[in-house]
Amino acid sequence: MIKNKLHYPIVNSVTPINKNKSNLITVKNLTDTSAELYIYGQIVDNTDWKWDESDVMPDDVKEALEKVEGLDELNIYINSPGGSVFSGLAIYNMLKRNKAKKIVHIDGVAASMASIIALVGDEVYMPSNAFMMIHKPLAGLWGNADELRKVANDLDTINIGMTNIYKENLREGIDIDTLTNRITEEVDVWLDADQASEYFNINLTGKTQIAASAVHMLEQYKNVPKSLLEVESNNEPKSEPKPQPQSKTDDELEKIKIQNELDLLSL
């Protein structure tokens, strides 16, 4: 049986975190008419465990939207390397259904599935030093030739759905073929704010301080802007050494094994 993970397999050596004991997606400045929602991590599938507190699951967004139901305005701040295709699509569709006016702010990077989520905004704002990255869906997999061909066909089908979202949000006068041809040539297409605004209805804002956002996950992509890869080291305290991973108990190792199995999806 072929197994695969869309968008990429999770590889991490740290102990997973019980999501019930960690903060879910952050909702701030909740008033009678508006709220701020922060998507500041990797997009992952629904499970009882997270690899990092910043990971965002569809259930997190569902719970957050229940808190802000009926508001007039929802400000969504994004700084994410992307992640699971199906979880990202679920998050996009949940946000799309919400009746509040959605104002999206790309604070640092909206890569892969995070670029899809960013386009849910009625208004999208992007500082001059932020980035958007778009590409075709990926899969980590194994199997025989027939199974691999089926997965390739499935990826093409999934890509049609993702391309439709990009197409719906293109700036007037831009042909979707212009974008898809560039993806075919470059594989991972990195757009700064000026370039992103040429394709999509994005409003440019002034330069801001970019926060680190799972920079190690960005290293798997091609043509990553150097400024993004430097963010993590620039944000680390200079005087304090990194904490060493704690040794894991048998129970923790078993949970990691279970998580790895859950992270593999059958097509």
Q: How far is CA 34 from CA 28, 30, 239, in A?
A: 10, 6, 39
Determine the pLDDT at residue 150.
93
Cβ(68)–Cβ(37) under 8 Å?
yes
- The residue whose two tokens read 């899809």 is 116
The neighbouring-strand residues paired with 49 are 18
d(Cα 62, Cα 90) in Å, to the nearest integer?
10
d(Cα 91, Cα 99) in Å, to the nearest integer?
15
Is domain 3-228+247-261 given the CATH code 1.25.60.10 in the classification? no
253 pLDDT higher than 60: no
The neighbouring-strand residues paired with 15 are none
d(Cα 77, Cα 68) in Å, to the nearest integer?
15
In the predicted model, what is the mean pLDDT of residues 131-158? 91
Structural domain boundaries of the chain?
3-228+247-261
Determine the pLDDT at residue 119.
97
Determine the pLDDT at residue 18.
54
Determine the pLDDT at residue 107.
92
3 pLDDT higher than 70: no
- Residue 14, Cβ neighbours under 10 Å: how many? 11
pLDDT tens string 158-204: 999 999 999 999 999 999 999 999 999 998 999 999 999 999 999 99
d(Cα 96, Cα 169) in Å, to the nearest integer?
13
**In the Cβ-directed half-sphere of 245, how many Cα atoms lie within 13 Å?**
10
10 pLDDT higher than 80: no
Q: Taking the model in full, what pTM does it have?
A: 0.74
Determine the pLDDT at residue 243.
43
More confident residue, 263 or 62: 62
Determine the pLDDT at residue 242.
41
11 pLDDT higher than 80: no
More confident residue, 265 or 113: 113
Determine the pLDDT at residue 67.
87
pLDDT tens string 17-74: 655 544 446 788 788 899 999 999 899 988 877 777 788 999 999 999 998 889 999 9
pLDDT tens string 75-100: 999 999 999 999 999 999 999 999 99
Just list the catalytic residues: 112, 135
